[in-house]
Amino acid sequence: MSELLIKNATVYDPINGINGDKMDIAVKDGKIVDSIGGGAQTIDAQGRLVYPGGVDAHTHIAGSKVNVGRIMRPEDSRSGIKPMTKITRPYTGYTVPNVYAMGYRYAEMGYTTAFEAAIPILKARHTHEELEEIPIIDKGGLTLFGSNWMVMDAIRENDLERLAAYVAWGLLASRGWGIKIVNPGGGEAWGFGKNVSGLDDPVPNFEVTPRQIIRSLAEANERMNLPHSIHLHCNNLGHPGNYETTLDSFDICKDIKPKRDRQALHVTHVMFNSFGGNNWGDVQSKADVIADYLNSHDHLTIDMGQMIFGSATTMTADGPVQYANARTFKARWANGDVELEDVSGVTPLYYSPQVYFYGMMWGIGQELALLTKDPWKVLLTTDHPNGGPFVNYPEVITLLMSKKKREEAISKIVPKAFEHCMIHTIDRELDWYDIAIKTRAGHAKVLGLIEQGKGHLGVGADADIAIYDIKPDETDATTEYDRVKAAFRKAAYTIKGGQIVVKDGEITATPMGRTYWVKTTVNNGGYDRMMEDLKMKFRQYYSVNMGNYMVQDEYVQHPVVVETEYAEV
């Protein structure tokens, strides 16, 4: 029985409404408890900042596209190198780190949970092979359904029961946590080198629209009572003028009633979808309009997709976007069509502060976070490694906490950028409580992980705890941003399931984390209709047999299975 007592902590635990209270935290057998006996191991936090372990609801840490990034970019693997030690395997990579660096670096920053944002079902086995090799952190993944033939066929025939049955089967087959939709319909169009342009542009050969795909999957999501809402990457990503499509996409789910205490829709890396204007000459930030929408509606949440200057490896199931990027920047291009299901692309980019639209994108991410009043509605991400690698979260935290820090950063960016965005006019500065929401509590709530004991420090929660070497009472984050950044960069302690895994920023233990997935039971005629259709598709169109398709138990060695049941709304 392991016991741990953290004394004299300055705790921020927004899910339990704790805002900088001085308290002790008791841990027994990996969980937070009321109190423990006298013999426990004790850490004296000495008034330092204590948060629940960080949670990342949208990151690309595993699977074929990540590995293609590694294979395509040996130069990236040559950075960030740290030799092996008696405890740790070697680290490599910056934008596409090896599996070990993924786990170690998240843990070093006080993060204990990260969810992979795109699992193609046919390649889910690969994704889980990598997830299983990522040490320390708990994991999960979102399964791609946005251009799937089974999905589109069921929607065209207006058969929501069959749709839900397939989604349930797909989540089981991929061991996934939720429904990811990327450029709905566009993936199928990309099968023949095309795209869809808007929400009402029919998907070639399938006679459904992106609007129908989003709406139907959102409805199916609630009927299945999934912990997370649908997770949407909007159409027209990266195009000037796309904010209108984004607002339209928000509206589609306006009247969806969530079955759980969470949003009906999560829209991801909205920075890339908040552009006004007609072309790259007059492109401009529409983050204020997006934020206005968020301020007046409660059915959705977003994440920032903050851009970080420097090297990035963009990777997405939005295949057409990646081809356009590669053509525009004469960059390397990897494409990855997945039969019947989706597509993807990988392209390395370099975000230079001397390019004004990159400066604008840098501004938009922060504008979304700062102009949206409710901190729970906008999560802090970089859409790793699309906007930039996750190791830059401390940089983003300081930008959000300090106007002075932003001014310093702005002075290094080409001034023309600020004719296209408004970040330089914003005075808001977030506090320790806001940051706790944006980096852990909000993520856990959006993903539906609170009841799994994530993102908070209430009794019964997982003892995933980060202690940072900074005292909120004695630190002015608006001016001492270098200290804040250093503290968030290397946690004084990261505690994972009650075990100390990081001390003074160094890895001290490498336990294996768990993988969360959802098993939904669908007992209705839709299941039989779905199976008939699915068997036909395997016989005729898949290149693998149905008997070899589903991810086997061997690939998820430390599972946490959440069960739900289908019910008519």
**Residues at the contact surface with another protein, assessed by CB under 8 A:** 62, 64, 66-68, 70-74, 76-78, 81-84, 89-93, 96-100, 122-123, 125-126, 129-130, 133, 190-193, 205, 323, 326-327, 332-340, 343, 346-347, 540-545, 547-548, 552, 554
Asked whether the beta carbons of 76 and 313 are under 8 A apart, the reply is: yes
* Secondary structure element (H or E) that encloses residue 325, with its range: helix 319-329
Token pair belonging to 306: 């903050």
In the Cβ-directed half-sphere of 114, how many Cα atoms lie within 13 Å? Answer: 29
Residue among 204, 65, 538 at smallest CA distance from 196: 204
CA distance readout (Å), 476 to 8, 435, 535 = 20, 14, 62
Residue 28 forms beta bridges with which residues?
3, 31
Tokens 């929400």 belong to which residue?
199
Cis peptide before 385 (omega within 30 of 0): yes
Q: Which is nearer to another protein, 339 or 429 (CB)?
A: 339
Q: Which is nearer to another protein, 479 or 557 (CB)?
A: 557
CA distance readout (Å), 222 to 121, 159, 565, 566 = 21, 15, 10, 9
Q: Which is nearer to another protein, 92 or 225 (CB)?
A: 92
The CB-of-147 to another protein minimum distance in angstroms stands at 12
Q: Which is nearer to another protein, 265 or 334 (CB)?
A: 334
- Please give the backbone phi and psi of residue 450, each rounded to the nearest 5 degrees, phi first: -60, -45
The CB-of-505 to another protein minimum distance in angstroms stands at 19
Residue among 288, 292, 291, 225 at smallest CA distance from 259: 225
The CB-of-9 to another protein minimum distance in angstroms stands at 36
Q: Which is nearer to another protein, 231 or 384 (CB)?
A: 384
Q: Which is nearer to another protein, 107 or 399 (CB)?
A: 107
Q: Which is it for strands 111-119 and 499-503: parallel, antiparallel or unpaired? A: unpaired
Tokens 């890339």 belong to which residue?
272
The CB-of-39 to another protein minimum distance in angstroms stands at 33
Give 410: exposed, middle or buried? Use CB within 10 Å, 0-12, 13-18, 19+. middle
Asked whether the beta carbons of 383 and 361 are under 8 A apart, the reply is: no
User: Is residue 174 left, alpha or beta, with left meaning phi > 0 and alpha meaning psi from -120 to 50?
Assistant: alpha
**Whole-number Å distance between alpha carbons of 53 and 31:** 13
Q: Which is nearer to another protein, 147 or 229 (CB)?
A: 147
Residue among 191, 299, 186 at smallest CA distance from 245: 186
The CB-of-137 to another protein minimum distance in angstroms stands at 15
Q: Which is nearer to another protein, 376 or 538 (CB)?
A: 538
Token pair belonging to 350: 């370099």
The CB-of-341 to another protein minimum distance in angstroms stands at 9
**Whole-number Å distance between alpha carbons of 200 and 177:** 28
Q: Which is nearer to another protein, 74 or 460 (CB)?
A: 74
The CB-of-328 to another protein minimum distance in angstroms stands at 12
* Secondary structure element (H or E) that encloses residue 520, with its range: strand 515-521
Q: Which is nearer to another protein, 107 or 444 (CB)?
A: 107
Q: Which is nearer to another protein, 506 or 554 (CB)?
A: 554
The CB-of-417 to another protein minimum distance in angstroms stands at 29
Token pair belonging to 234: 């909007």
The CB-of-116 to another protein minimum distance in angstroms stands at 13
The CB-of-104 to another protein minimum distance in angstroms stands at 13
The CB-of-569 to another protein minimum distance in angstroms stands at 33
The CB-of-108 to another protein minimum distance in angstroms stands at 17
The CB-of-99 to another protein minimum distance in angstroms stands at 5
Q: Which is nearer to another protein, 92 or 515 (CB)?
A: 92
Residue among 49, 18, 2 at smallest CA distance from 492: 49
CA distance readout (Å), 534 to 46, 207, 219, 519, 542 = 59, 19, 21, 18, 10
**Whole-number Å distance between alpha carbons of 112 and 135:** 10
The CB-of-337 to another protein minimum distance in angstroms stands at 3
Residue among 348, 326, 333, 344 at smallest CA distance from 190: 344
Q: Which is nearer to another protein, 150 or 465 (CB)?
A: 150
Q: Which is nearer to another protein, 64 or 242 (CB)?
A: 64
